Structure formats: C-alpha cells, structure tokens
Structure 1
Amino acid sequence: MKIEVWSDYSCPFCYIGKVHLDKALAELKLTDKVEIIYKAYQLDPSAPKAIKQSTHDVLSSKYGVSLSEAKAMTQKVTDKAATLGLVYNYDIVKATNTLDAHRLMKLCDPVEAKALNAALYDAYFTQGKNLADFDVLKELGLSFKMNKDEIKAMLYSDKLKDMVLSDISEAKALNIRGVPYFRINKKHIIPGAQPIDTFVETLRNAYITEMGK
C-alpha cells in the first residue's frame, strides 16, 4: 500500500499524526508492507526565516489572543504529545519558514526518509532548532548519509523548490485545507491527527480492499 502524507514540520498535530500512523501500522503488522510518500505543505509560506519573535508571540498575534492564552494553547497540545512520548518545548521552539526543511526531505534517499522526517520534527519541537538555518539542515542531512556537496548545492539555490511547490499545489487541488492529511492508495482518507483507532480501521479497510483485487 502507498500512503501519501501531507504535513509541515511546524505543525504540532502533524508530529502527533505521524506517531498515530506508526502505531496503527505496527498494531496491524503492516509497517514493512507500506510505502510512505512524504508530501510538503506549509502552514505559513510567508513566514520569515529570521527569528524575530517567540512562538508564543507569533501565536498571540496570529490569533488575536493574549500571551497567557497563547501559552495555554501550546500547553494543551504539549500535554497531548506527552501521552505519546513526545516532548514539545514551546519555550524554545523557533517559528520559522519550513521551505528549506521540505527541500532537504526531497533530497533525502527514500531509505532514510522516515528517519529524517522524525528527526526534523524532533529538531523543531524538542530541540528548538531553527529549521531555516542552513547549518542545522546540513548537520541533519549529514547525519542521514547525505552528500555534503549536494546539500550545500541544494541549500544555496532553488533546487527542489519546484517539487515542494508541486506538493502544495496538489494539496490545493485536492482541497486539503489543513494538515496532517493522509491518503491511502489514493482512495482512503484520514484528515487530521485522528485517534489511533481511526487509523487502524481505515488502514485495515484499505488493506482488505487492496488484497481483494
């Protein structure tokens, strides 16, 4: 089975949805029987690369809420993530543009894609790294056996940007208005970070349908 996943590395629910998918696949013993295709999406394509505000300040301005209300918002999703063993450190999370992080994923060997995908989330939410910082991206790429010169050539050009924008255009064509968004065999849809049981049920039905062909 092929599972297409539209997501953004600045999206807290995308990281949660990723774990829900992993757990559902493990429960069904399908982990090694699926191909996951990572599709780019940007919640805020206009986000600056330079860090000028804290994440809480950004949320406060975006949603028109007080700083304390913004912190309450992030605490709620932090608590949810913690039930899955994920650590969100919003006091150090750096709200930035994720285009180059998506380009790095496009450069990655498919064999390493799943691990790099997880590492990018961890870098953003747990370690508080700036995913628009070329040094951060180079370090991540090298840790997944990517060629140093290829990483540099990609980062200091527009290479692979067209692939990222193509994913985003496809999402618009499919009327995807939020992420995460999972499409199995181009037929079965899981919108959002649904409960693990929903993932299990949808994946099971998709697998049965595929086996019945």
Structure 2
Amino acid sequence: MRVEIWSDIACPWCYVGKARFEKALAAFPHRGDVEVVHRSFELDPGRAKGDAQPVITMLTRKYGMSEAQAQAGEDNLGAQAAAEGLDYRTRGRDHGNTFDMHRLLHLAKERGRQSELLQALYRANFAEERSVFTEGDERLVELAVEAGLDADEVRAVLADPTAYADEVRADEAEAAQLGISGVPFVVIDRKYGVSGAQPDEVFTQALNQAWGEQTVLRLFEEGGDGGDGGAEACGPDGCAVPKS
C-alpha cells in the first residue's frame, strides 16, 4: 500500500496531522507493507527566500484578525499539539518560504531519509527557538545532517536553485490535478483521500478500508466517510484557527 502525504513545513496542522497519522499507522496490522511518501505543497509559494515575518503578523494580515485573536489561536493549537505529545512554541515563531526545504526533502527521499528530515524540519520550525527561515542555508545543512544526509551534498543542492525544483513543482501540479487546495492531505493507494488533521481513528478507518478495496478517491471526515466537513488544514489563504 502506498500512502502519499501532501504537506508543508510551515503548516502547523501538518505537524499535528503527521503525529495522528503515525499513531494510526503504528496500530495498522499491515504497517510493514505500507510505503509512506511525503509530497510537496507550498502554502506561500510567492514569498521570496529570506522574507520572513512573525507568525502572529502573518495571521493578522491573512485573516484580518486582531493580534489577541491570532495569539489565542496559536495557544489553542499548541494545546492540540501537546495532546499528541508534540512540543509547540506558541510565541516567537516566524514564517517564510519553504521551497528549499522541499527540494531537500526530495534529496532525502532518494537517500532513504525523507521521514527523518521532515521530522527534523517540523521540530525545528514548531518547537525550537532557532529559526529555519532567517539563519541561512547552514541551518538547513545542520538539520539535514542530523537527519542522516551528507553535508556537502546538501550544500550542493542548496547552491543550485534548479536541483529538485522540477520534482517540487511536479508534486504541486499533481496536487492541483487531484483538487488538493489545503494540507495536510493524505492519499491512500489513490483510492481514498483524508483531508486535514483528522483524528487518528479516521486515518485508521481509511487504512483498513483502502487495504481491501478498489474504488475512486473518497474523502474521509470525522463522524463518517465522505461529505465536506473539515478538520483543520492550511491553504493558500492561511491556516485554520482552532476553536476553543
């Protein structure tokens, strides 16, 4: 079984959703037969490299909310992350372009270290004080080496803006063809789609059903299979603010 997960390192619901999916996968009886592939999706593709801004500022501009409302949303999101055993900095984070990170994730896929690099990038962005957006390429090299990649190879990719760029754009084009407009979005064997950071039991239902069925892509939502209800996700206009 092949599971493809479209996500962005700047997406907090992708961070939470990854933990929920992995909880479901760990309990799946056929988990040894599941290949997980992480696919690229940029929430802010038009932002220039090096153009970073505080998350709270980004939220107020995208949603038109007050700083207090934006901070309350971050606090609630932090609580949901904590419920999944994840560290989450609710203050002082920044937001920026993730294209180079996606290029490195494609390198990591070729080297069999994609999941490790994705986790390192998520942790660095959401849990650590140091920025993945303002410290330059060496910060990404450091994280990639931590994930098991070769430093010189990583530097070579970062120095060549065309390296793995087509692979990132191909992922994004395929997302558009599938009608994916927000992330996380999980596609299981091209049979079922799970939109948003659904509870782990929804991922469990989708895995079990896809294992033995041949059908067209269907959406799974909390409380049933199908419909247009929605778990929280991030799209081009920003990330959903969790309800209190």
Partner of 1:167: 171
- Mapping for residues 36-51 of structure 1, pairs under 5 Å: 36-50=36-50
2: CA distance, partners of 1:110 / 1:18: 21
Distance 1:3 1:50, change over 3 A: same
More helix by share: 1
Which structure 1 residue ranges, 5 or more long, are not aligned? none
- Mapping for residues 115-130 of structure 1, pairs under 5 Å: 115-130=116-131
- CA shift, 1:88, in A, is 1.1
1: CA distance, partners of 2:105 / 2:46: 20
2: CA distance, partners of 1:40 / 1:25: 21
Does the CA-based 8 Å contact 2:6-2:40 persist in structure 1?
yes
- Mapping for residues 29-178 of structure 1, pairs under 5 Å: 29-50=29-50, 52-108=52-108, 109-132=110-133, 133-158=136-161, 159-178=163-182
Does the CA-based 8 Å contact 1:182-1:191 persist in structure 2?
yes
- CA shift, 1:62, in A, is 1.4
2: CA distance, partners of 1:186 / 1:99: 25
3-state secondary structure, aligned to 2:210: helix
Does the CA-based 8 Å contact 1:96-1:130 persist in structure 2?
no
Which structure 2 residue ranges, 5 or more long, are not aligned? 215-244
Partner of 1:23: 23
1: CA distance, partners of 2:127 / 2:30: 28
1:185 aligns with 2:186: no
Which structure has more relative contact order (CA 8 Å, sep 6+)? It is 1
TM-score by length of 1: 0.93
TM-score by length of 2: 0.81
Q: CA RMSD in A?
A: 1.6
Residue type matched to 1:74 in 2? E
2: CA distance, partners of 1:138 / 1:156: 11
2: CA distance, partners of 1:52 / 1:136: 15
- CA shift, 1:52, in A, is 4.9
